[in-house]
Structure 1
Amino acid sequence: MTTEIKALSGIRYHAIDGIGTITLARPEVSNAIDIPTALSLEQSARHAIADPDVRVIVINAEGPRFCAGGDVAAMAAAVDKPAAGRELAERLDAALLALDAAEKPVIAAVRGAVAGAGLGVALACDLVVAATDAKFLAAYTSIGITPDCGVSWLLPRAVGQQRALELVLTRRKLTAEEARSWGLVTAVVDDSDLDAEVGALATQLAALSPFATGQARRLIRSSWDVTRKEATLDEVRTVTEAVSRALG
């Protein structure tokens, strides 16, 4: 059965065969995220998380660019620009925090620009498959603003503090292969193969135990915030339940 959500803004969502797909759908502005899009991203993310038939979440985008970041033009057009910037940052972060808390694997399929908030979306995912033309950049300082969407927290954990500072301060642009060598990307594939490769990966994960994949994700993502002993105790509790579920 295919599930769709109507009345989304800047986002398309559908679920089929255990895979919930969230598509950034503003290609005319390089999928820049405005406030309505951020709200729809959170709505679709929470829907996928709550749906027991969805075992894997995929985030992709229409057009040649994954996401150019926040919609700067929309912020510039607002009467109260600081308030608009704050609301966008808060709304988008709410969507990404929902994804972070999901006990389901999240895969990003990226091509073209992965910039600013787009980098934040990619960092919120567990696996990132990139087309060869993908370019990763922080972009914030280029327009006189600072990181948001959890980038200041997630990026140093993904690549290390010094590399994170290099990306943010120097506006360095990483190729897909460089991003893979830095640990931002899981795999690099030809653009023509991106959708098929991500589909195959999502299908592979959807065939696994949802308890095992969801709890493995939770254990690893939560490990930054607990002690070694706390992590071990959580592992023991979780593997005990996993054995009970798998072996009876």
Structure 2
Amino acid sequence: MSERQASAGGPVRYEVDTALARITLDRPAASNAIDLPTAESFAAAVARAAADETVRAVLLTGAGRRFCAGGDLAAMAAAADRGAYVHALASTLDLGLRALADLPKPVVAAVQGAAAGAGLAAVLSADVAVAGRSAKFAAAYTAVGLTPDCGFSRLLPRAVGQPRALHLTLTRRSLSAAEALEWGLVAEVVDDDELTARAEALAAELAAGPVRALGEAKRLLRGSWHQSPQEVAEDEARTIAALVTGPEASERIDAFLSGSPWSPAPRATASRDCARSRAR
């Protein structure tokens, strides 16, 4: 059974094409709002991507017109015990998003329509986000009398700074795609009809790259927030020393020095010329 068939019919689709896993929030009629079954399915999909050694990159998308409207308010309101339900929902989705951020593989998010609340937390949990030009971004929590969840309180200030994070969270402001790019919420903005192709191309490019180096670089950057400068430096030194003897680095360094077509040969030549000049 193919991955597409195996994941058909649920609130989250999981598909693998060669080395690229696609995780799609698949509740378009509900603007991909996340209820507890969706959070559980999402966490399971991320776990599958982590366990599959053939997967080298992940593309996170939302079906339909909107990426993700955040938590499903209708499901919250219908719960017999609203507090217990929301606690389970926030905790489950947080586990899935942290697992996404911790994946030792690059993650690209393609954002169309709107990303609000937990949907914005999902964007911030990806490594590279590409937005369609008409996309909108909002915190949305306080507008319905709620507070951030799913790591939003940690992720947003680190992406945009504390003053902007407070402004976006405490007011009902939404950001355009261009503003999200200026603020640092997304890495690229493209025309809406180019979003899928650009995000897929970027994810495929990363999947074809040195996956161990990409995963370790991601880990170093994300982990640096929790470490002292000395701990960061020591972790960096251990990691680069371990990678330099591995096949990914050995092949690429040899190709770089030999001037292979994919490597920046002129820069390598210039570096060697400078080294000769210093030697003289």
Shorter-chain TM-score: what band? over 0.9
Q: Which amino acid aligns with 2:85?
A: A
Match of 1:32 in 2: 33
Is the partner of 1:15 in helix, strand or coil? strand
Task: Indicate how the Cα distance of structure 1 residues 2 and 235 shifts in structure 2: closer, same or farther if over 3 A, else same.
Answer: farther
How many positions carry a matched residue from both structures? 248
Does 2:197 correspond to 1:214? no
Q: Which amino acid aligns with 1:200?
A: A
Q: Give, in whole Å, the separation in 1 of the partners of 2:3 and 2:63.
A: 19
Match of 1:135 in 2: 136
Q: Give, in whole Å, the separation in 1 of the partners of 2:250 and 2:242.
A: 10
Q: Give, in whole Å, the separation in 2 of the partners of 1:69 and 1:46.
A: 21
Q: Give, in whole Å, the separation in 2 of the partners of 1:113 and 1:247.
A: 43
Match of 1:125 in 2: 126
Structure-to-structure mapping, 1:161-180, within 5 angstroms: 161-180=162-181
Is the partner of 1:220 in helix, strand or coil? helix
Match of 1:88 in 2: 89
Match of 2:19 in 1: 18
Decide whether the 8 Å contact of 2:101 with 2:127 is kept in 1.
no
Match of 1:193 in 2: 194
String of CA shifts for 1:45-71, please: whole Å, max 9, x gaps. 010011111111110011010000000
Q: Give, in whole Å, the separation in 1 of the partners of 2:250 and 2:195.
A: 37
Alpha-carbon deviation of 1:9?
A: 3.0
Alpha-carbon deviation of 1:219?
A: 0.5
Match of 1:3 in 2: 3
Alpha-carbon deviation of 1:3?
A: 3.2
Structure-to-structure mapping, 1:70-89, within 5 angstroms: 70-89=71-90
Q: Give, in whole Å, the separation in 1 of the partners of 2:118 and 2:240.
A: 35
Q: Give, in whole Å, the separation in 1 of the partners of 2:50 and 2:34.
A: 21
Give TM-score, length-normalised by structure 1. 0.97
Large movers: runs of 4+ above 4 Å: none
Give TM-score, length-normalised by structure 2. 0.86
Is the partner of 2:130 in helix, strand or coil? strand
Alpha-carbon deviation of 1:2?
A: 5.8
Q: Give, in whole Å, the separation in 2 of the partners of 1:2 and 1:232.
A: 44
Q: Which amino acid aligns with 2:124?
A: L
What's the % identity of the aligned pairs? 52
Q: Give, in whole Å, the separation in 1 of the partners of 2:63 and 2:130.
A: 15
Match of 1:238 in 2: 239
Q: Give, in whole Å, the separation in 2 of the partners of 1:54 and 1:2.
A: 15
